Chain A
Amino acid sequence: MLKLDNLTADVGEGDGRKTILNGLSLEVPAGEVHAIMGPNGAGKSTLSYVLTGRDGYEATSGAATLDGDDLLEMEPDERAAAGLFLSFQYPVEIPGVPVMTFVRAAINAQRKTRGEDEISAPDFIKKAREIGQKLNIDADMLKRPVNVGFSGGEKKRLEIFQMMMMEPRFAILDETDSGLDIDALKTVADGVNALRNEDRGMLVITHYQRLLDHIKPDRVHVLAKGRIIKSGGPELALQLEKEGYDGILGEVA
């Protein structure tokens, strides 16, 4: 499904330009959830921005494909239409655009790019109501402008709401646990788990083990200095929690 082959990427422009991803290879097959853990500055968020095509994050060599389609050739909105979703570490405010208007515009834009019909208004509203209920998001919140005045927890729940509405083929969750209390973490994890199926892949980026108690990964990778330095089963996350990154990094070095 998602395949990264020897991916190298630069961030910034001019003198400030730095190579952050340095020969990163990774494969997440359909139906699996992989976790990426790593110390600050390892390149975790850079990876999510390179894959989604943010300006200023440029892949200089290597390949990134989703079901064989070259992601790096596509505009960010085309990548979204191809099924790639990023739950942002810091969700952005969209002043003046209500959540419902925004999500519907996004779904219909994706459908248009894929050559599909628009979602009907009743279907959309019904689905939004159902998913909102699961995530403790009330109708009032859906009428407010996207993320404007939302608490940290509300923003993260809204990311998962959008993911559930859009049903992407592949989701990247970038530190979705940060800013969440224990109850909200469980709500969010339940939402993510509800989307797990044999056709969908996920990449969960996190600092901490605790999210992985709720979203059990099939594989865990350790990212440091722009590449995967160690991969293993769920037990690797527990080892990290116990020994810290220094332990693992020392072991590899």
Chain B
Amino acid sequence: MTTTALKNPSEAERQLTDLFSQQKPEASQKAAFEAFTRSGLPHRRMEQWKWTDVRQAVSRLATVDTAADTSIELPSDAIELRFDGSAWTIPDKLSEGLKIFAKSGGHDFAQADALPLGALASSMTGHSGEDMLMIEVSAKVDQPLVLTYHGGGAAAFSRVVFVVRKDCHLDLFEHYSGGAGFSAFLAEFGLAENASVDRTVLQESSREEVTAITTTAHLDAKATFKQTALSFGGKLCRMETRLEHQGEGAEATLNGAYLVASGFHTDFTTHVTHGAESCVTSQLTKGAVADGGRGVFQGKFLVPRTVGQFTDAEMQHQALLLENGAEIFAKPELEIYADDVECEHGNTSGQLDDDALFYMQQRGIPKPEARALLTEAFIAEALGDALKGVRDQLIEATRRFLRNQGSN
């Protein structure tokens, strides 16, 4: 079989092409792979990837020895789906209003050109095994749905499509804990009128792994999408969310925090289009980066003329350089063509306040502890909206990270 050839492919790109060639793709999968080959693995000469060079980080696909170190105690009523790197395990009993099935065959991915790693995930899934899920929500589901991703050898791909019907609700927790040399995951959300999703994401992996978690969301009128993400990064990690308000009065909250140790890299990239009137977007991203770590924030609000009228949108990115040698790159962008909108953004990177540190020491708190306490409070602000059942554990994971940094 033939596929579009990549120009000067890297070894990893050749391996990916071989993997795809072994499949019997349907038209949508072919189209997605072709979209992927137009850029290949994203690299620093692409504007959106200038700080996150996947082509360089994934020189070849190879397995890694890793273990997830955060165990999260799930809420007792949680419905857990597990992905082992090639297939999903779905529990026999599901809540009323929740339909989950593995889908084989293709499913169009409309954003393939804007999201090359989303395109890759959609081209590689749905061939065999059970790596592609359709999740339909047709009630207010009380029990939280939990998706656990762990394992996968040299490369792992998964695609999950959420369809949330009118007036329906889903609480969702996703835990990505690595296990594959290269992972590309795609989650797509379609929210009908007045539907709501409350999503919390925890990502962690080892220094050897490259992970891309791509999310798309489409919101009809009065739909609400609330996302809280905590990322510890990896050799390279890209958390990319592309959201579009398509119906009047939709609301999105995109909060996130990144904690980056030496040798780790995390990238939060978001793109929000206000494609309907009177929609609200609120975004708070916080970061803390140690010596030798790298944090990236790229946020964009696009507010077109006419349809974007009465937009209310705020983007804040605040990051702490915990030590000399930490790197933070940030690009907040507002592109506004409508004339009656309220849009704000703020972006700061700095260090902990010396006055506050001294004040705490004067009260008896040793400096490393004072630093950890201040940093934890700083990060926790972005995690306040996480799902109740896991929020304290995310803050505990933050505390553990900061304690480890302090003892280095």
| A43-87 interface code vs B (CB 8 A; 1 in, 0 out) | 000000000111100000000000000000001110111000110
- The answer to whether B363 has its CB under 8 Å from any CB of chain A is yes
With an 8 A cutoff between CB atoms, is B361 at the interface? yes
- Does chain A have a CB within 8 A of B397? no
- Residue B373, interface by CB 8 Å: yes
Given A105-B365, A109-B366, CB of A76 within 8 Å of CB of B374: no
Q: Is A249 close to B, CB under 8 A?
A: no
Instruction: Tell me, rounded to whole Å, the shortest Cβ–Cβ distance linking A237 to chain B.
Output: 27
Given contacts A97-B374, A109-B369, A80 and B362 within 8 Å (CB-CB)? yes
Encode contact with A along B341-372: 1 for CB under 8 Å, 0 otherwise: 00000000000011110111111111101000
Among A76, A94, A109, the residue within 8 A (CB) of B377 is A94
B380 within 8 Å of A (CB atoms): yes
Distance in angstroms from B337 CB to nearest chain A CB is 36
A166 at the interface (CB under 8 A from B): yes
How far is B366's CA from A76's CA once the two chains are assembled, in angstroms?
8
Interface string of A78-114 (1 = CB under 8 A from B): 0111000110100111111100001101110110010
B356 proximity list for chain A (CB < 8 A): 92-94
Interface assignment of A162: CB less than 8 Å from any CB of chain B: yes
Q: Known interface pairs A92-B356, A94-B356. Does A77 touch B374 (Cβ–Cβ under 8 Å)?
A: no
CB distance from B375 to the nearest CB of A (A): 10
Closest-by-CB residue of B relative to A165 is B363
Is B381's beta carbon under 8 Å from chain A?
Answer: yes
Bound-complex Cα distance A95 to B373 (A): 10
Q: Kindly list chain B residues whose C-beta atoms are within 8 Å of the C-beta of A55.
A: 354, 358
With both beta carbons as reference points, the residue of chain B lying nearest to A94 in the complex is identified as: B356
- Residue numbers in A under 8 Å from B374 (CB-CB): 94, 96-97
- Max count, chain B CB within 10 A of own CB: residue among A76, A81, A85, A107: A76
Docked Cα-Cα span, A154 to B377, in Å, equals: 22
Q: How far is the CB of B365 from chain A (nearest CB, A)?
A: 5
User: A100-140 interface mask toward B, CB cutoff 8 Å, 1 = contact, 0 = none?
Assistant: 00110111011001000000000000000000000000000
Q: Given A77-B361, A77-B367, A106-B363, does the pair A96, B354 have CB atoms closer than 8 Å?
A: no
Asked if B358 and A54 make an inter-chain contact with CB atoms under 8 angstroms apart, the answer reads yes
Interface: B378 (CB within 8 A): yes
Known: A95-B378, A97-B377. A113 touches B359 (CB 8 A): no
Q: CB distance A80 to B361 under 8 Å?
A: yes
B363 partner residues in chain A, CB cutoff 8 A: 80, 102-103, 106, 109-110, 162, 166
Known: A55-B358, A88-B359. A109 touches B378 (CB 8 A): no
A175 to B356 CA separation, bound complex (whole angstroms): 19
Question: Using Cβ atoms and an 8 Å threshold, which residues of chain A touch B377?
Answer: 94-97, 145
Q: Which B residues are in CB contact (< 8 Å) with A166?
A: 363-364
Residues of B within 8 A of A77 (CB): 361-362, 364-367
Of the candidates A54, A94, A109, the one whose C-beta lies within 8 Å of that of B364 is: A109
CB-based contact A75/B367 at 8 Å? yes
A113 to chain B, nearest CB (A): 7
Contact partner, A109, options B354, B359, B365, Cβ 8 Å = B365
B366 and A75 contacting across the interface, CB-CB below 8 Å: yes
A97–B373 contact, CB under 8 A?
Answer: yes
| A92–B365 touching, CB < 8 Å | no
Contact between chains at B380 and A80 (CB < 8 Å): no
CB-based contact B364/A81 at 8 Å = yes
Q: Are A75 and B361 in contact (CB under 8 A)?
A: yes
Residue of B nearest to A145 (CB): B377
Question: Within 8 Å CB of A93, what residues of B?
Answer: 356
**For A75, what are the chain B residues with a Cβ–Cβ distance below 8 Å?**
361, 366-367
Smallest distance from the beta carbon of B368 to chain A beta carbons, Å?
A: 10
Q: Which B293-350 residues sit within 8 Å CB-CB of chain A?
A: none
Q: Which residue of A lies closest to B370 (CB)?
A: A77
Residue of B nearest to A81 (CB): B364
Residues of A with C-beta under 8 A to B362: 52, 76-77, 79-80, 85-86, 88
Could you say which of A53, A81, A102 has the most chain B C-beta atoms within 10 Å of its C-beta?
A: A102
Which listed residue (B355, B364, B376) contacts A106, Cβ 8 A?
B364
Q: Which residues of A contact B359 (CB under 8 A)?
A: 88, 91-92, 94
Interface residues of A in 124-171 (CB under 8 A from B): 145, 162, 166
B363 to A, closest residue via Cβ? A106
Give the shortest distance, in Å, between B398 (CB) and chain A (any CB): 12
Which of B353, B363, B378 counts the most A-chain CB atoms under 10 A from its CB?
B363
Taking CB atoms, residues of chain B closer than 8 Å to A145 are 377
Say how far B202's CB is from chain A's closest CB, in angstroms: 21
Residue of A nearest to B355 (CB): A92
A162 to chain B, nearest CB (A): 7
Measured between beta carbons, the chain A residues less than 8 angstroms from B365 are 77, 105-106, 109
Chain B residues with Cβ under 8 A from A103's Cβ?
A: 363
Q: Closest CB of chain B to A165's CB: distance in Å? A: 10
- B286: shortest Cβ distance to chain A, in Å? 10
Closest to B377 in A: A96
Q: Mark B89-133, 1 if CB is under 8 A from A, else 0.
A: 000000000000000000000000000000000000000000000
Could you tell me if B373 and A76 are in contact, using CB atoms closer than 8 angstroms? no
Docked complex Cα distance between A195 and B190 (Å): 64
Given the interface contacts A55-B354, A76-B358, A88-B359, does A96 sit within 8 Å of B364 by beta carbon? no
Task: Give, as a whole number of angstroms, the nearest-CB distance from A144 to chain B.
Answer: 13
Q: In the bound complex, how far is the Cα of B367 from the Cα of A77, in angstroms?
A: 8
Q: How far is the CA of A80 from the CA of B363 in the complex (A)?
A: 6
- Is A94 touching B378 in the complex (CB atoms < 8 A)? no
- Do residues B373 and A105 form an inter-chain contact, with CB atoms below 8 A? yes
B360 interface neighbour in A81, A86, A94, Cβ under 8 Å: A94
For this complex, 12 residue pairs linking A to B, each with C-beta atoms less than 8 Å apart, are A77-B362, A77-B366, A77-B367, A80-B364, A92-B359, A94-B374, A96-B376, A96-B381, A105-B365, A105-B369, A106-B364, A107-B364
Contacts A86-B362, A106-B365 supplied; 6 other A-B pairs, CB < 8 Å = A54-B358, A75-B361, A94-B359, A94-B360, A103-B363, A106-B363
Interface residues of A, Cβ cutoff 8 Å to B: 52-55, 75-77, 79-81, 85-86, 88, 91-97, 102-103, 105-107, 109-110, 113, 145, 162, 166
